[in-house]
Amino acid sequence: MKNFTILKGVLRLGIFALSLLVFNGIFAQTTIINPTGDGGFDNGPSFLSNGWTVVNDANSANNNWYVGNVPGAFAGTNAAYISNTSGTTWAYSPTTVSTTHFYRDVTVPANESVISLNFQWKGSGESGWDRLLIYAAPVTTNPFSGYPASNVSAYPGATLLYTQANAAQATYTNAAVTVPSSFAGTTFRLIFTWQNDASFGTSPAVAIDNVSLTSAVPAVFTSSAIGGQWSSPATWVGGVVPAGGNLISIAAGSVVTIDQAIAYAELVFSRGPVIKYSSLMGCAASRG
């Protein structure tokens, strides 16, 4: 009986510790770009009034960036979009070589190495040529019109975070990007770039809304006893899919199938779990 009481005490302590962990995981998050604020482009009718700097070409027939309701917003009134008619239409010219940008400087608190960029986007383009690119660059980087020219995505000194792969996205969909943990404790220039070459492509180019950038201290996420698809909330204790950069613990007896790209600070296996790669990942390896 005494042992039972002690066990209960240990259990309570465990639950208390877990609560702290969950509390920590939920509330230790910093909103760096608010999707309902500057990230939603609804604080004003321009990039400037939303805290962004836009770099367009002086030629208004170029494929340039604008803020407004022309493409329709995901939320609120405004989105950011490409237009070759000074913003009056949501359209681009696939024969007018263009590279244009908008950007802002962001600071990630020290130790908050779980850095997540999310945004809503729709549009078309040409796979591998006419597309949205996103960079994290030193604040000394000054983007300019025409550079980098399609289909070069490398930008010296910058880290390429995202490449638009789907060239036909009719309705807004969320893109989730894990920013490398090495950007914790730094200030960097977050650059959204549109580029296209002189041939082929399907108008319109991208429209973007609800840009969100958050950072958090890594938390421990544990798989359920049964497991499941990595991307399924039901696979994880607490019902939340861990964002990249967190600490992952695969419970004993749990079978977890990796069905998405993953980047984690630490992956711990209890005795007996299995982790598999789904065929989507192009790998059939498993580990028992």
Question: Which residue number, 78 or 223, has a Cβ lying nearer to Ca ion?
Answer: 78
Phi, psi for residue 112 in degrees, rounded to 5: -90, 75
Question: Which residue number, 126 or 259, has a Cβ lying nearer to Ca ion?
Answer: 126
Phi, psi for residue 13 in degrees, rounded to 5: -60, -45
Question: Which residue number, 75 or 176, has a Cβ lying nearer to Ca ion?
Answer: 75
Question: Which residue number, 76 or 87, has a Cβ lying nearer to Ca ion?
Answer: 76
Identity of the residue numbered 199: S
Shortest gap between Cβ of 243 and Ca ion (angstroms)? 23
Shortest gap between Cβ of 144 and Ca ion (angstroms)? 21
Shortest gap between Cβ of 241 and Ca ion (angstroms)? 25
Question: Which residue number, 35 or 143, has a Cβ lying nearer to Ca ion?
Answer: 35
Shortest gap between Cβ of 175 and Ca ion (angstroms)? 15
Q: Which residues of the chain form contacts with Ca ion (CB under 5 A)?
A: 40-42, 73, 75-76, 78, 126, 129-130, 197, 200-201, 209
Cβ(117)–Cβ(213) below 8 Å:
yes
Spell out the residues 6+ positions from residue 60 whose beta carbon is closer than 8 angstroms to its own.
Answer: 85, 86
R_g over Cα of the chain: 22
Q: What is the rounded distance in angstroms from the CA atom of residue 43 to the CA atom of residue 105?
A: 17
- Taking the CA atoms of residue 124, residue 125, residue 128 and residue 131 in that order, the dihedral angle to the nearest 10 degrees is -90
Segment (H or E) for 121: strand 114-123
Shortest gap between Cβ of 51 and Ca ion (angstroms)? 14
Question: Which residue number, 122 or 276, has a Cβ lying nearer to Ca ion?
Answer: 122
Question: Which residue number, 120 or 214, has a Cβ lying nearer to Ca ion?
Answer: 120
**What are the start-end ranges of the H helices in the chain?**
2-27
Which is nearest to 278 in space by CA: 252, 257, 264?
257
Helix (H, G, I), strand (E, B) or coil at 233: helix
Shortest gap between Cβ of 149 and Ca ion (angstroms)? 12
Shortest gap between Cβ of 272 and Ca ion (angstroms)? 48
Question: Which residue number, 212 or 222, has a Cβ lying nearer to Ca ion?
Answer: 212
Spell out the residues 6+ positions from residue 85 whose beta carbon is closer than 8 angstroms to its own.
Answer: 60, 61, 91
Shortest gap between Cβ of 39 and Ca ion (angstroms)? 8
Which is nearest to 102 in space by CA: 9, 191, 213, 205?
191
Tokens of 110: 């020290």
Q: What is the rounded distance in angstroms from the CA atom of residue 244 to the CA atom of residue 143?
A: 28
Residue 45: cis peptide before it, omega within 30 degrees of 0? no
